[in-house]
Structure 1
């Protein structure tokens, strides 16, 4: 198949949106009651400053697909640096769609054009957010991308059978004061530091870890959010924090986000995480949430097995490709 590439512009949105809507219509369920249309997603993406975007046509002028990447620039103290490279590029949800039949060939042609521009800007880490669609992910895998993170979704149901208790364990709702903010921030930093280890191997810069100590002040004061702290014999050994999830094409609304979850290494394996989660789910149901989402690193020796085991089903992937730093 002969392909011709060109810059993706507003005039291409209707044709590109047809491919995107077709793909999202088969993506994992449940989805938002009123999901954004392909045209809405695309218009927002290409309106972003410095977006790098291209489209491809096959023989006869058939629109074969498009690809759009956005620059990602993060300050050293931005907590997002704990999960993402500070100077990178992201193909967001809605940032690509391909006509069925020759997906790998079309994506290769588009990525060749877009990646050249990104590397010229010294952006050597590339991310892709997409629904948990195995065929779509495979086209990226064949270009050298790997699975970096998984987003899962679980229904929130009325209280059922609760996990068995743990001796001497107490669970309390965290407040909005400085002491609880410091406790949540301290355990969030400890959870983040775990990502430095095998097999995640993510650097956790100290300025970003320090920022976690105050990051959740607004969240703790939001009535749509809540956090709980687990303690045993006066020692705080775990916590969980729920917040309202940001709108996403792959999530129903309203949806709760499991923003933080932590159990001290010395207390793992006792069921404390399940008790904290059950407490959070009961609150979520009573406050109108019917779904909860969580995100984890695919290489995490703890999270990658735990969250699917408690009921989270994949609805989205984040893929990653790290280019050879000798290109600098």
Structure 2
């Protein structure tokens, strides 16, 4: 475990040369050890280790998630792998995956830093890119709203359209080329959730209007309030662009960009240093909108389904 932590700390140090907004703490081997230990102690975790003589030169740890959305799965999280040489991740996976597949776990996921050699090694294991994690600094000066749009903080009277927009994103994700299998809530469930959580002080909701009609919404919070980003992928003192959606008939007016910029401006006002977001890379809208807003991809979530 200490040797694995040393590999992880070095991988993270190299990663931060490209993305200095990522948390510096995990360059320390003791902090890295806590992350490796957490991966090892995950329920039903298993994996492999690579040795060159007495020296550990790579490790791989995966564990299942209970959510049925992911299928009979194994997840290798950000702290679940590190190697001295990128090619060796293929040997580690080859040894670990036989046990996983023998146990019926055929949906494999891994969170990989944007290291070209490491990504190439995973791609040559038949993994493909599924989801992006990205970061950018907060704007130094407020970004103005485009002409023809109004962006404001949501009020309770907006709850019906906010609930409708809650359905818009998963409906879009279910279409080609995303084909997400995520559960779609009912409109009543979305309404009930907004009625209960609207006054939550830990989130801010913005709406975009065109000709006096609300056409989109976005939500900002502290990064700690999002479940997707943790450990090595969770920057210190960061805001989080957790949601944005625009009604299909209103796309093309610039509302999505304006709503994202509203969260950026809010994050700067709150004193955050950076803003994090994530998206499905097969979502053609978000995979173009957020990089255009200055977000740089830090981690790639890769996926492989065995036997098909």
- TM category, shorter: 0.7 to 0.9
Q: Which residue of 2 aligns with 1:44?
A: 38
Instruction: Output aligned runs, 1:146-295, within 5 Å.
Output: 146-166=128-148, 169-175=149-155, 177=156, 180-206=158-184, 220-246=198-224, 247-295=230-278
Matched residues in 1 for 2:44 and 2:166: separation? 33
Q: Structure 2 residue aligned with 1:114, among 96, 107, 111? A: 96
Contact 2:238–2:273 under 8 Å retained in 1: yes
TM-score (norm 2): 0.87
Q: Which residue of 2 aligns with 1:144?
A: 126
Matched residues in 2 for 1:42 and 1:20: separation? 8
Contact 1:220–1:226 under 8 Å retained in 2: no
Contact 1:91–1:127 under 8 Å retained in 2: yes
Pick which of 271-280 and 189-198 moved more: 271-280
1:212 deviates by 5.5
1:210 deviates by 7.4
| Residue 81 of structure 2 corresponds to residue 90 of structure 1 | no
Structure 1 residue matching 2:294: 3-state secondary structure: coil
Structure 2 residue matching 1:54: 3-state secondary structure: strand
1:150 deviates by 1.0
Aligned residues: 297
Matched residues in 2 for 1:280 and 1:230: separation? 12
1:186 deviates by 2.5
Change (3 A) 1:148 1:217: farther
Matched residues in 2 for 1:153 and 1:281: separation? 11
Contact 1:181–1:214 under 8 Å retained in 2: no
Structure 1 residue matching 2:283: 3-state secondary structure: coil
Q: Which residue of 1 aligns with 2:23?
A: 32
1:297 deviates by 1.4
Pick which of 215-224 and 108-117 moved more: 215-224
Matched residues in 2 for 1:145 and 1:210: separation? 38
CA deviation map 1:70-101 (0-9, x unaligned): 101115xxxxx4xxx2431110011001112x
Matched residues in 1 for 2:196 and 2:32: separation? 32
Matched residues in 2 for 1:163 and 1:207: separation? 31
Structure 1 residue matching 2:23: 3-state secondary structure: coil
TM-score (norm 1): 0.82
Matched residues in 1 for 2:63 and 2:186: separation? 22
Q: Provide structure 2 residue ranges, at least 5 long, that are not aligned to the other structure.
A: 225-229
Matched residues in 2 for 1:88 and 1:66: separation? 19
Q: Which residue of 2 aligns with 1:64?
A: 57
Q: Which residue of 2 aligns with 1:3?
A: none
Q: Provide structure 1 residue ranges, at least 5 long, that are not aligned to the other structure.
A: 1-12, 76-80
1:18 deviates by 1.3
CA deviation map 1:106-145 (0-9, x unaligned): 2222212321222233221111012222221111111111
Matched residues in 2 for 1:184 and 1:248: separation? 31
| Residue 281 of structure 2 corresponds to residue 303 of structure 1 | no
When the two chains are superposed, the root-mean-square deviation of aligned CA atoms in Å is 2.4
Change (3 A) 1:137 1:276: same
Structure 2 residue matching 1:198: 3-state secondary structure: coil
Matched residues in 2 for 1:245 and 1:69: separation? 24
Q: Which residue of 2 aligns with 1:312?
A: 295
